[in-house]
Amino acid sequence: MADRVRVGIVGGGRIADLNKIGWLDHARGEIVAVCDTDESTRSARAAEWSCKPYEHLEGLLADPEVDAVEILTPHHLHASQAIAALEAGKHVSLQKPPTMSLAEYDEVAAAATRAGTVFKVYENFMFYPPHVLARQIVDEGGIGEVLSVRIVTAAGRMGTGQGWEVSASSNAWRLDPSLCGGGMMTFDHGFHCFQMGRMFVDAPVEAVHAFINVLELGPGTQIDAPSLISWRYAGIPVRYGSWEIVASLDLDVMSEYYVSDDRIEIRGNSGIIWVNQCSGRLLEEAPVVHYRDGVVRAFHRVETDWAVSFRDATFDFIDAVLDGGQPHLDAVEGRATLAFALAAQLSASEHREVAVAEMG
Ligand SMILES: NC(=O)c1ccc[n+]([C@@H]2O[C@H](COP(=O)([O-])OP(=O)(O)OC[C@H]3O[C@@H](n4cnc5c(N)ncnc54)[C@H](O)[C@@H]3O)[C@@H](O)[C@H]2O)c1
């Protein structure tokens, strides 16, 4: 058995700054190659990571030193690149949303089965320490039976000096549904929130209803907000979840990353959990608050750096490759979240409730 995983990173753009962390921090991980069609990005990343640059994916996949491939490219490329990497016998970590359709997804999953290598859908909110703590409180029975999950996202004001610089090229493909697969909030960012919708309830989502508004911001620039997506979990008792996206485009959100404020409220039959932080920060409040039996527990000391969720998602992949386990979002679980996300898109376009089973 190999003692480390040598990765080739495909796509050295904005998010590579967070995806790299796990590879640099894990004692058994190493970045050995980068592939990016943009020459300046490719050479800058090769210099930064002291690794081999490849212009074309074929070159990187033919490199015997590359054990695993991390795909960080625009969504329309995910399926073909993942299949090529799996057919080359590589382990694959594929950034969310894994593909733009379930048909594409099933081709990737079939390639993973044929390859027999590790395949992970990379979703990091599920590793964000406040979310992990909330799930732990649920597991300990801290709110009794979970009855409701409510998520709110505020897309905040850009260009205030808060948050990351996001290049025009990084935004451009997100504004084209044929490259992104859907809107930048409800489909691109959405994969995280649909995963959160699934994270705290141990029952599948069976039906979805979505209002998705497209707000024109200027020529060729739009945001799919305000939007309101609700869903029903299977089984008894009847339980609903919801995700609201508010276009608070003049709201200052403090952040070292994206200027987006994501909050989650999880209600049970005997308690409530509030998760007040994610990539953005608004109020000086505890990141996790738990209420039960007249007692409020405010968790001030939980790690809140959003980058940690990326580190731990990468660690999950490296450990699965070396220790022979399943990564946390494997082919089956990744499909369930994608089907949920696509059901919301279908619901909004057809103005009706959609059963997730309809998605195939
Ligand atoms: N987990 C998260 O929170 C999170 C946040 C942002 C982005 N993402 C995901 O990461 C992925 C990349 O997003 P980004 O914001 O870094 O995009 P980006 O546009 O900043 O970077 C994409 C990079 O891919 C390169 N590229 C384009 N075509 C290529 C090809 N054929 N072969 C190799 N490289 C190619 C581009 O030159 C660019 O450097 C997407 O799947 C996105 O949804 C995830």
CB 207 less than 6 A from any atom of ligand 1: no
Name residue, tokens 């409020």.
296
- Global pTM value: 0.97
Backbone angles phi, psi at 330, to 5 degrees: -85, -170
Distance from residue 118's CA to the centre of ligand 1 (Å):
21
Q: How confident is the model at residue 1 (pLDDT cuts 50, 70, 90)?
A: low
11: CA distance to ligand 1 center in Å? 5
Residue nearest to atom 8 of ligand 1 (CA): 15
Q: How much is the pLDDT for 202?
A: 96
Domains in the chain with CATH codes: 5-125+310-329 (3.40.50.720), 126-304+341-350 (3.30.360.10)
Residues 215-228, mean pLDDT to the nearest whole number: 92
Q: Which residues are CB-neighbours of 255 under 8 A, at least 6 positions away?
A: 156, 162, 163, 164, 279, 280, 281
307 alpha carbon – ligand 1 mean position (Å): 17
Query: What is the residue-wise DSSP string for 217-240?
Result: EETTEEE--SEEEEEEESSSS-EE
Whether the pLDDT of residue 161 is over 80: the answer is no
CB of 241 closer than 6 angstroms to any ligand 1 atom: no
pLDDT of residue 98: 98
- Which atom of ligand 1 has the smallest separation from the CA of 169? 19
CA dist., res. 311 & res. 306, Å (int): 9
Kindly report, residue by residue over 162-207, the tens digit of the pLDDT. 888 889 999 999 999 999 999 999 999 999 999 999 999 999 999 9
Query: What is the C-alpha to C-alpha distance for residues 239 and 44, in angstroms, rounded to an integer?
Result: 49
Burial of 28 (0-12, 13-18, 19+ CB in 10 A): middle
170 lines ligand 1 (CB under 6 A): yes
Q: Report how far residue 144's alpha carbon sits from residue 291's, in angstroms, rounded to the nearest whole number.
A: 11
Q: Are 126 and 199 in contact (CB under 8 A)?
A: yes
What is the spatial distance between Cα 257 and Cα 240, in angstroms, rounded to a whole number?
30
User: Quick one: which atom of ligand 1 is closest to the CA of 122?
Assistant: 1
Could you give the percent of the chain with pLDDT greater than 70? Answer: 100
Residue 154 CA to ligand 1 centre (angstroms): 22
Q: From the CB of 93, is ligand 1 less than 6 Å away?
A: no
Q: What is the pLDDT of residues 54-73, one digit of tens each?
A: 999 999 999 999 999 999 99
Q: What share of the chain is helix, strand, coil (3-state, %, to 5)?
A: 40, 30, 35
Structure tokens at 218: 């200027």
Distance CA 94, CA 199 (A): 19
